[in-house]
Chain A
Amino acid sequence: MADSGVTDGLCDTDDIERSKTEGKELTKEEKQRLRKEKKHQKKIKEKKDDAASHEDEKKKKKKKEEKPVGAASQPPTQPSQKVAPAPAPVPVPASETPALADKPAKSKADLKAERRARQESERASKQGKKGDVGQPVPTSKPKAPPSELQPVVKRLPEHVQVDNPDVLKKLAKKLERQQIPLRSDYGYKVSLFSHLHQYSRKAPLTQQLGIPSTVIHPAIVRLGLQYSQGIVAGSNARSVALLHAFKQVIRDYTTPPNEELSRDLVNKLKPYISFLNQCRPLSASMGNAIKYIKKEISNIPSQCKEEEAKSKLLSCIECYINEKIILAAKAIAKYSIEKISDGDVILVYGCSSLVNHILCEAFEKKRKFRVIVVDSRPRLEGREALRRLVQRGISCTYVLISAVSYILPEVSKVFLGAHALLANGYVMSRVGTSQIALVAKAFNVPVLVCCETYKFCERVQTDSFVSNELDDPDELIVTRKGKTQLEHWQEVPSLGLLNLVYDVTPPDFVDLVITDLGMIPCTSVPVVLRVKNVDQ
């Protein structure tokens, strides 16, 4: 397939043959060349920056960004984007097929010429660049088109490259450096999802850790265990528990001598985050919370005393939880209650803490409605939602997802919770949500998704295959009347068990998204993201 892409770009038969044989090598060479070029350019830039005073700040920014980037397996594509303040208007689709197939190949001579031209233009622009912060943006723009024409090397996140042994080796090295054990995958993975991790609940990560855990703070070990056993499940619960554990970490933290709290604490948190990732892949809400904390920590001025800094961080965390979770829930409930009228039949799926909260609030405000709870195996979370609603006094009906098309004629509205809202308007939620939305659309029933803004994520996905989570396949095994049919599923060579956790719903099926900022259509999600980024 790569070859055919290559031949399309060229007309010369000699070039075709050359590129066929050297196709892959060329791209590797190009990669190496790109890397060298960028390093060279950075060195030149830094030398010139030493003279100017503004440029010092930029250098610090670049250095900070270089450190995490330096370890990547493939070089970052757009160095210009690092410098530019605004995020790319078109988010890079990380979900595409391996980047190799996208690259149009060029002959060596063309590449050399382009490189020379670029260097000339750079040198010319640098002459007039001193002392001007605004310049990087126009200089980045001329750089961007040539780099787009160049073979674009995209960086895929590690957790969707499990079938790539190089990536696994890098991960193992990183974990070894941080002294965290590597959790091994379990069981046969269905080939479509073999690029994702699949762990077993019976083999917790604590098996490989020493018991009085010294490397990892005990609160984090406890949290990791609770994640992997499913005791803390649900996007909001996981974030709150994470922040609670971080509070304990910060309380027990003491700055070592000759170190600054702002830098050292962030480095301390990195192995903890890797550990939690090994226990269970991080959710989008957790990722945003971690970004917020890291930002807050690095913004602590160096003159600040340790006690002061710690109390400031603790209050920041409290503030974040209060604003983004508790108050957001109140605001969303207020907006949603406007949408619930008397006599409504509301369909909910699974157990979303936000949707449960909304329904309970609406019931308190004396709205008359009844609820249909749809549930699905293997988690059967709907039972918990059912219990909470019935405890309040709301009249409920309980069905399994296989009956949803029978029950939909009765339904007037569908309320769904979300695990994350992606930048292209897709809703990532528990597996089965997209089915409900699809059937609801077929019956012309309005679908309302409730989601706090801190769950908005800059990732883009159009299908549920590329980035997902595989749960323990043994959870699908059930014992009825003493017989366990799937007990020896691993011995049957043609059988694979798949336990997906998330799926992605297209925005065409969602009529309204209710957030704490108001009620927006699904396509306005990137606007909210942009506003959020500008705020920060």
Chain B
Amino acid sequence: MELQAVLMAAGGGSRMPDLTYNTPKPMLPVGNKPLMWYPLNLLERVGFEEVIVITTKEVHKMMSTDPKMKDVKMKLDVVCIQEDGDMGTADALRHIQQKIKTDVLVVSCDLITDVALHEVVDLFRAHNATLAMLMSKAHEFTDTVPGQKGKKKTAEQRDFVGVDQSGKRLLFMANEADLEDGLSIRKSIMRKHPRMHIKTGLEDAHLYCLKKAVVDFLADNKSISSIRGELVPYLVRKQFSKTTNSPKIKDDAEDQNQKTIDELLISSRDEPLLQLAQERSCWNDHRGDMSEAYHGGKLRCYVHIIDQGLCYRVNTLAAYIEANRLAPKLFEEPAVHPSAVISERCQMGSDSIIGALCQVADKTSIKRSTIGNSTTVKEKVKVTNSIIMHGVTIEEGCNIQGCVICSNAVIGRGADLKYCLVGSGQQIEPEDERPCLPCLKRGYNPQKH
């Protein structure tokens, strides 16, 4: 077996608390499919037959009832972990170390992409890399986000990513938060790769191919808890650190008994034959200096950067809205579910999606919106640019613009909502006018505003 797929679906969605108040992030509907269906679909299309899904009990329960998840033909090995949120992604990998028998492909549940996965995996295979990851050019979300008054927040702290001339080898990775005085690059990197391109406009897709030796290394080093935050920068740094053959004092505070990642990598069988083949081969990945291919380094990290194509991480509200608009274009599915009942005098735009068992009455206008399963839309309702989740009831004469309405909410007659975020199970009083207000959660008194 070549690669084992691991789907990380235990994340809390900490950056969109309003949406995930009732529904856990992996099950948020995007284009009327649960969010975690998209990476599973990607894995299935590419040819995986088994996936290990790390998630919470709540999500596991919801997964078994969701009809879309039954479409997934792969064998899902669900591992439930505690919901307290202390477990990072690396901790989760350590938890399932016994199940990992070969190299592993880690995917996050909030990734929606149509990338050709073989590009990432080919880098991993061809160069015998320790880590291969996927990054894309960051997107600017232009739509107004409901619940946010005024300008958008400034861009979150940037990532500085350094790649070599070919654009494939990952040389440097740091987050702005970790750099206090400025960007410092070690001399050993500059000596080996005098030309480095540093990019800031990249977004990590949280898709990683890791060697089995890395999982074994994680089992020994319990201090690493997040793949993205700690493991990846560690591996990128370790590419250029001096390999210590004798047990000297190491620079990181590691136990002397633990094996370093280099030792784990080298202990593969037939290493001398591979060495011989590399020596006899007349290929080098760089030129201009006296060193052999890869500068003799065993640890190599590669990155594939996508320019065009869809690649979103749905971890903020803006991304969620954008994803809802674009995700349905990935698949050739009918916009209107066959079981939905739509009256004839309804004006429906072509970019709208209607879920199963919906009832849409006369004289309604639905443009650029997503309507979830089992929602009822009564007469003379105008829905524009909105996302309406499952089980919502919209009474007559409402005007909903740019809103996100969570499941099981009830919008009273004649309500006029603009750029609002309605929590699940909420009830909007009739004749309510809400121009761009912060989200309405359960327990919020709508009278007082």
What residues of chain A have their CB less than 8 Å away from a CB belonging to chain B? 204, 206-207, 209-214, 218, 221-222, 225-226, 229-234, 236-237, 240-241, 243-244, 247-248, 321, 325-326, 350-351, 353, 381, 383-385, 387, 390-391
Contacts and interface: CB of A to CB of B under 8 A. Distances in A.
B280 A236 contact: yes
Contacts of B118: 204, 206-207, 209, 211
B117 interface: yes
A325 B4 CA distance: 36
Interface in B74-131: 105, 116-118, 121-122, 125-128
Contacts of B121: 206, 211
A326 B272 CA distance: 12
B1 A212 contact: yes
Contact of B276 (A221, A240, A351, A390): A240
B48 A233 contact: no
Nearest to B2: A218
Contacts of B4: 212
B3 interface: yes
Given A232-B278, A381-B282, 20 more contacts: A204-B122, A206-B121, A211-B47, A212-B4, A212-B49, A218-B125, A226-B126, A230-B283, A231-B126, A233-B281, A237-B281, A237-B282, A240-B273, A241-B274, A247-B273, A321-B273, A353-B281, A384-B282, A387-B284, A387-B290
A306 to B, nearest CB: 19
Given A211-B46, A231-B127, A243-B273, A353 B282 contact: yes
Given A212-B1, A212-B2, A231 B281 contact: yes
B230 interface: no
A231 B5 CA distance: 27
B283 A231 contact: yes
Contacts of B287: 383, 387
Interface string B202-226: 0000000000000000000000000
A240 B270 contact: no
Contacts of A232: 277-278, 281, 283
A234 B47 contact: no
Interface of B: 1-5, 46-49, 105, 116-118, 121-122, 125-128, 270, 273-274, 276-284, 287, 290
B360 to A, nearest CB: 41
Contact of B47 (A212, A237, A351): A212
B277 A225 contact: no
Contact of A241 (B2, B126, B277): B277
Contacts of A222: 125-126, 128
A211 B3 contact: yes
Given A206-B118, A221-B2, A391-B290, A248 B270 contact: yes
B2 A213 contact: yes
Which residue, B116, B121, B126, has most C-beta atoms of chain A within 10 A? B126
Nearest to A216: B2
Contact of A384 (B1, B48, B273, B283): B283
A244 B273 contact: yes
A213 B281 CA distance: 26
B104 to A, nearest CB: 11
A229 B125 CA distance: 12
B2 A234 contact: no
Contact of B282 (A204, A240, A385): A385
A204 B282 CA distance: 21
B208 to A, nearest CB: 14
8 contacts: A209-B118, A210-B46, A212-B2, A218-B1, A225-B122, A237-B277, A384-B283, A391-B290
A218 B46 CA distance: 16
B1 A221 contact: no
A432 to B, nearest CB: 14
Contacts of A226: 126
A207 B280 contact: no
A390 B289 CA distance: 11
B275 to A, nearest CB: 10
A387 B288 CA distance: 9
Contacts of A211: 2-3, 46-48, 105, 117-118, 121
Contacts, number: 105
A165 B224 CA distance: 58
A64 B304 CA distance: 47
Contacts of B290: 387, 390-391
Given A211-B118, A226-B126, A387-B290, A240 B47 contact: no
Contacts of B105: 211
B392 to A, nearest CB: 39
A237 B48 CA distance: 32
B100 to A, nearest CB: 13
Contacts of A214: 1, 47, 49
A273 B218 CA distance: 37
A140 B96 CA distance: 67
B41 to A, nearest CB: 14
Contacts of B1: 212, 214, 218
Contact of A225 (B117, B126, B270, B281): B126
Contacts of B49: 212, 214
Contacts of B127: 231
A125 to B, nearest CB: 52
Contacts of B278: 232, 237
A240 B76 CA distance: 39
Nearest to B4: A212
Given A211-B47, A237-B281, A390-B290, A244 B274 contact: yes
A458 B122 CA distance: 36
B46 A351 contact: no
A110 to B, nearest CB: 57
A191 B3 CA distance: 43
Which residue, B2, B122, B273, B282, has most C-beta atoms of chain A within 10 A? B282
B281 A244 contact: no
Nearest to B102: A218
B47 A210 contact: yes
Contacts of B281: 231-234, 237, 241, 353
Nearest to A230: B283
B214 to A, nearest CB: 17
Contacts of B48: 210-212
A323 to B, nearest CB: 14
Contacts of A240: 273, 276-277, 280
A241 B121 CA distance: 20
Nearest to A329: B280
Contacts of A241: 274, 277, 281
A211 B117 CA distance: 8
Nearest to B125: A222
A385 B118 CA distance: 33
A232 B283 CA distance: 7
B295 to A, nearest CB: 13
Given A212-B47, A237-B277, A247-B273, A207 B116 contact: yes
Nearest to B43: A211
B120 to A, nearest CB: 9
Nearest to B209: A211
A236 B1 CA distance: 28
A436 to B, nearest CB: 17
Contacts of A231: 126-127, 281, 283
B94 to A, nearest CB: 22
Contacts of B46: 210-211
A221 B126 CA distance: 9
Contacts of B279: 237, 353
B5 to A, nearest CB: 8
B128 to A, nearest CB: 7
A239 to B, nearest CB: 9
B282 A351 contact: yes
Contacts of A390: 290
Per CB-CB distance, the 6 closest pairs between chain A and chain B, nearest first, are A210-B47, A351-B282, A237-B281, A218-B2, A237-B280, A353-B280
A1 B281 CA distance: 46
Which residue, A204, A222, A230, A326, has most C-beta atoms of chain B within 10 A? A222
